[in-house]
């Protein structure tokens, strides 16, 4: 009985997502920060990076690989991507249709307002340990209802204009009452190391084409360089230099696919001084030459 109810609820989400996208990949919606995603066939494991977001899958499933961890999120779970950490992702379509989902960007300002209004939950203390930057959670009835109301809103321009932000606020509020509340709270609790690393990552994403300055990143996090390096690696599983390299390569892939620029143009645009070095590192990371990207 419970399984049948969940299947019906998933079918409702699928029916609401399908009209919003007619192509594979991420597609924007009328509400900034909300995208729908589709994959009409299985997609092999490969490097990926998501901005901080909640990713809810209505049909099909995904596997995320981050360091030694493997996270599965499908119609019964959703992904919380708290930090923009490079990982590897594998996508599976459903037997009767494409993989379909919705991605909701995490607005740290709105998140901070909600955490402040909610206060510290009774019996909860701020965790001393750095939380996982990527987690999965059960898509319970409360979250499923929020997602459904958000998707219905996207089908009505007036409702989207008037109520869109309220729907996003409701969804984040429910997530903050869910099993992964700690990682979301950690993003905005400024005395914590997690929020400081998030601030440094925001700076790095805004200036990734420039030479890496660890001292500047450490100052964004209000830490010494050595302490910053330790917490950065604990949160992202990468050193700042490794992170910058992967970020540049992932940005380069997006440029190669979306804009059809030449390899040298892309290399320069993402901060490489040497096209040959860029090509070597690109092939090592993606296992194909940058010039072959569009064909692949």
pLDDT tens by residue, 206-220: 999 999 889 999 999
Q: Please tell me the class of the 2-186 domain.
A: mainly beta
166-199 confidence digits (pLDDT tens): 999 999 999 999 888 889 999 888 668 889 999 9
Domain positions in the chain: 2-186, 193-238, 242-292
The predicted structure's pLDDT at residue 3 = 43
Query: Which phi-psi region, left, alpha or beta, contains residue 284 (left: φ > 0; alpha: ψ -120 to 50)?
Result: alpha
Both structure tokens of 44:
């092999």
Q: Please, which residues have CB within 8 angstroms of residue 21's CB and are 6 or more apart in sequence?
A: 27, 36, 37, 38, 100
Cα–Cα distance for residue pair 99/93, rounded to 1 Å: 4
The predicted structure's pLDDT at residue 148 = 97
The predicted structure's pLDDT at residue 126 = 53
47-67 confidence digits (pLDDT tens): 999 999 999 999 999 999 998
The predicted structure's pLDDT at residue 251 = 95
The CATH architecture to which 242-292 belongs is Orthogonal Bundle (1.10)
**Weakly modelled stretches of the chain, pLDDT under 70:** 1-8, 120-130, 190-191, 294-296
> Exposed, middle or buried, 186 (CB in 10 Å: 0-12/13-18/19+)?
buried
The predicted structure's pLDDT at residue 156 = 96
């Amino acid at each position: 009985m419970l399984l049948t109810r969940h299947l019906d609820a998933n079918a409702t989400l699928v029916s609401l997502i399908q009209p919003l996208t007619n192509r594979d990949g991420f597609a924007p919606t009328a509400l900034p920060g909300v995208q729908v995603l589709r994959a009409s066939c299985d997609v092999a494991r490969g490097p990926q990076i998501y901005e901080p977001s909640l990713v809810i899958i209505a049909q099909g499933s995904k596997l995320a690989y981050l360091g030694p961890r493997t996270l599965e999120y499908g119609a019964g779970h959703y992904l919380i991507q708290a930090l923009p950490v490079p990982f590897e992702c594998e996508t599976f379509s459903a037997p009767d249709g494409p993989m379909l989902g919705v991605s909701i960007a995490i607005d740290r300002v709105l998140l901070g307002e909600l955490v402040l209004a909610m206060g510290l939950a009774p019996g909860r203390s701020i965790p001393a340990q750095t939380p996982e930057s990527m987690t999965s959670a059960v898509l319970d009835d409360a979250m499923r209802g929020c997602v459904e109301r958000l998707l219905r809103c996207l089908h009505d321009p007036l409702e989207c204009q008037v109520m869109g932000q309220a729907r996003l606020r409701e969804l984040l509020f429910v997530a903050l009452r869910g099993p992964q509340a700690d990682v979301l709270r950690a993003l905005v609790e400024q005395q914590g190391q997690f929020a400081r690393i998030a601030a440094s990552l925001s700076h790095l994403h805004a200036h990734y084409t420039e030479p890496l300055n660890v001292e500047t990143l450490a100052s964004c996090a209000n830490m010494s360089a050595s302490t910053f390096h330790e917490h950065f690696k604990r949160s992202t599983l990468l050193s700042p230099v490794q992170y910058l390299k992967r970020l540049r390569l992932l940005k380069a892939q997006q440029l190669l696919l979306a804009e059809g620029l030449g390899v040298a143009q892309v290399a320069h645009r993402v901060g490489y001084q040497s096209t040959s070095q860029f090509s070597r590192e690109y092939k090592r990371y993606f296992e194909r030459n940058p010039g072959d990207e569009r064909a692949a």
